[in-house]
Amino acid sequence: MTATTTATDPRLAGLFRRFAAGFYDGLLLLALAMIAGLLVFIAAGGMSRPVGTLQAPSLLERLANLLLVVTFVTLYFGYGWRKAGQTLGMKAWKIRTEYQDATLLHWGGVLRRLGCAAPFYLLLLMSVLGLMQQRYLLALVLSLPMLANAGWLLWTRQGALHDLWSDTRVVVVPEPPKA
């Protein structure tokens, strides 16, 4: 995309809409992560453990849970982006992810976009965990890449860094014409 947009170009989604849709999707993904944890707990015989004992999950249980969460996240975004360019959160905030030529993503594009965005969101999640442990300086340092990404989005008005790296864009879905 060029530095200037023409009247025929769709309007790129701003920071607030992206954040709101991401927050909405984050709540849904939290529910999926809880389901993944429950499935691993049941598969590992969690209910057959002695009552009143606290046992840390094994490495195998942790890896299985991680694999299930990554699978759920990939399928959640992949299904939404490939079917209509939207997840549930994006649909609520009327934004859509697409390639620069306005076509829907294919699986390679989904994986590339997730791979480009994942480091930003993982560091932000670690920042929140740092805040919960009252490690404020660590939380600030870990949130700097996401703040830089948001600053880039606001400054260039051409998309976030992971949009550029994955050759995608997030646009506002136009209102349907009134009858």
The strand pairing partners of 172, in sequence order, are 95
Sign of CA dihedral 75, 166, 22, 127: positive
Please report, as a single letter, which amino acid is at residue 6.
T
Q: Decide which of 132 and 1 is more confident.
A: 132
Say what the pLDDT of residue 50 is.
67
Whether 140 maps to a domain, the answer reads: yes
Is pLDDT above 50 for 5?
A: no
Say what the pLDDT of residue 54 is.
67
Say what the pLDDT of residue 35 is.
86
The parent domain of residue 20 ranges over: 15-48+56-172
Say what the pLDDT of residue 49 is.
65
pTM, whole model, 2 decimals?
A: 0.79
Render pLDDT for 103-145 as a digit per residue (tens, 0 to 9): 999 999 999 999 999 888 889 889 998 999 999 999 999 999 9
- H or E stretch covering 171: strand 168-172
* Residue 174 φ then ψ, to 5°: -65, 150
Locate 49 and state its tokens.
């453990």
Sign of CA dihedral 14, 17, 20, 21: negative
Whether 2 maps to a domain, the answer reads: no
Whether 8 maps to a domain, the answer reads: no
Render pLDDT for 56-110 as a digit per residue (tens, 0 to 9): 777 887 888 888 888 989 999 999 999 999 999 999 999 999 999 999 999 999 9
Whether 9 maps to a domain, the answer reads: no
Render pLDDT for 14-38 as a digit per residue (tens, 0 to 9): 889 999 999 999 999 999 888 888 8
Say what the pLDDT of residue 176 is.
78
In order of 30, 117, 121, the CA distances from 23 in angstroms are: 10, 15, 11
- Percent of the chain as helix, strand, coil, to the nearest 5: 65, 5, 30
The total number of structural domains in the chain stands at 1
Alpha carbon distance 167, 48 (integer Å)? 49
Whether 41 maps to a domain, the answer reads: yes
